[in-house]
Chain A
Amino acid sequence: MLDAADLTALWLTLRVASLATVLMLLLGTPLAWWLARTRSRYQGMANALVALPLVLPPTVLGFYLLVLMGPNGPVGRLTTALGLGTLPFTFTGLVVASVLYSLPFVVQPLQTAFAAIGEQPLEAAATLRANPLDTFFSVAVPLAWPGFLTATILGFAHTVGEFGVVLMIGGNIPGRTQVVSVQIYNRVEALEYAKAHWLAGCLLLFSFVVLLLMYTVLKTRPSIPSR
């Protein structure tokens, strides 16, 4: 069965994933809007940067984050100067890493949804004297609603399933950085297969239910970014 450490890990995972998802939606929405509509020559560059975590091995991202956010890295120097200390081994650090790692899973569905709206509804809104912000919230958001749902679910689920990055920068501290995937890995490494099975089973069931929800209730077409 699940013991206290497992439940702590589950609760922590849910907190990290929820917070990261909210942040990704806040960051990802304007980014996706810009990516969907810009004709800037930097668009290709920006698309490539956002998609990078899809193809990079998580250990590479984790290693870079460990170096960048460490006391000798530029980000680490900045956070120390701001009085935040360094981010590895902290809950905040885990959330920051999760946002970077799962961002393409939020941006890409949103970008697709925004692009699908096309120019006409937006131009119609403009002729009715809606300002750009009003147009965005009254026209674009309602039309892109399925994209928002997909982005939220994928961003959340992918954060729950992340492993390599948190292993690299987490330090495996119960209640602070020891998330479910790391806990499962530890159980397997310690040859505690029965306990590993319980947690792994939970995660499998969770992932399946989430995807099932997406493909049946929301009738989303398989548009998961390819890995």
Chain B
Amino acid sequence: MNCVFLSRILLTVLLLTTQTFAAAETTLVAVATNFTQPMVKIAELFHQATGYTAKLSFGSSGKIASQLQNGAPFEVFLSADEDKPLKLEQTGVAVAGSRFTYAFGTLVLWSAQPGFVDDQGQILGSGAFKHLAVADPKLAPYGSAALAVLEEKGLQEKLQPLLVLGENIAQTHQFVSTGNAELGFVSLSQVIDNGKISQGSGWIVPSNLHAPIRQDAVLLENGTDNPAAIELMAFLKSPQARSIIEQYGYGLPK
């Protein structure tokens, strides 16, 4: 009886200590969905380099921001835009001054059909399609960048009736990849494989046609005392992380 009691106490103590031990080694990270693949690789390298573990949760930037405003336990946030980290800083959820751009999004006009999109994007003017998918410009920076391109080319009014809006860039890609929209503006990271557009056809939009798509990371107040969180913020700027980011079709900050 006594022995069982004692072993239970020992077990509890053991569990408690391992838990605090694990918490110190681990950081909870919220990541915008479009950065899923590179971030999984970066987290692996981060673990190898530092021994710390980054636990990744993926979601849309807007949803993550809402969750953070309402007490979500994340310590680092990699957003798909610059507005949401800024807002979080202003409301005191994120650490002021910790914000930086970890990647620039590259916009590509893409179709699942080979040979459909030419390498100058002339197809836009031809109007030889029924649906043009873009991410909702109110929700996703890739969407507002796409509309800026149409405006720059003087096609916004003509193409407005053909637009179908994806709730985020992943859904926009889904509309195009299933063929429901003949073409659409997606993120290069979604269609790149080994540095090339792997399927269908695409036009990599020159970055001077739209405002830069800045993807900002920010340290959250929850993470200020966690060395793993602080280390991860630094690691995102390391040459190792930068090479992964570039490999997936993102532009690198200077």
Contact = CB atoms under 8 A, between A and B. Distances in A.
A89 interface: yes
A191 B87 contact: yes
Contacts of B84: 191
Given A189-B139, A191-B62, A173 B178 contact: no
Contacts, number: 64
A171 interface: yes
A173 B138 CA distance: 13
Contacts of A72: 178-179
A171 to B, nearest CB: 3
Contact of A186 (B131, B139, B163): B139
Given A70-B180, A191-B66, A185 B167 contact: yes
Q: For B63, B138, B167, which residue has the most chain A Cβ atoms within 10 angstroms? A: B167
A174 B32 CA distance: 26
A104 B138 CA distance: 35
A85 B179 CA distance: 13
Contact of A190 (B62, B130, B174): B62
Which of B87, B163, B165 has most A Cβ within 10 Å? B165
A88 B167 contact: no
A190 B133 CA distance: 19
B102 to A, nearest CB: 21
A75 to B, nearest CB: 12
Contacts of B60: 189
A87 to B, nearest CB: 9
A86 interface: yes
Given A66-B180, A71-B180, A89-B164, A189 B62 contact: yes
A56 to B, nearest CB: 18
Contact of B63 (A86, A88, A168, A189): A189
Contacts of B167: 167, 172, 182, 185-186, 189
Most chain B beta carbons < 10 A, residue from A63, A85, A88, A189: A189
Nearest to A189: B62
Contacts of A66: 174-175, 178, 180
B146 interface: no
B165 A190 contact: no
A149 interface: no
A167 B178 CA distance: 15
A70 B181 CA distance: 9
A67 interface: yes
B164 A172 contact: yes
A188 B180 contact: no
Nearest to A174: B165
B136 interface: yes
Contacts of A69: 180
A90 to B, nearest CB: 10
B54 interface: no
Nearest to A171: B164
B62 A172 contact: no
Interface of B: 60, 62-63, 65-66, 84, 87, 130-131, 133, 136, 138-139, 163-167, 171, 174-175, 178-181
Closest 9 CB pairs of A and B: A171-B164, A189-B62, A172-B165, A70-B180, A70-B178, A88-B180, A71-B179, A189-B139, A89-B164
21 contacts: A66-B178, A67-B178, A70-B178, A70-B179, A70-B180, A72-B178, A72-B179, A89-B131, A89-B180, A168-B174, A171-B164, A171-B175, A173-B164, A182-B167, A186-B167, A188-B66, A189-B60, A190-B62, A190-B139, A191-B62, A191-B84
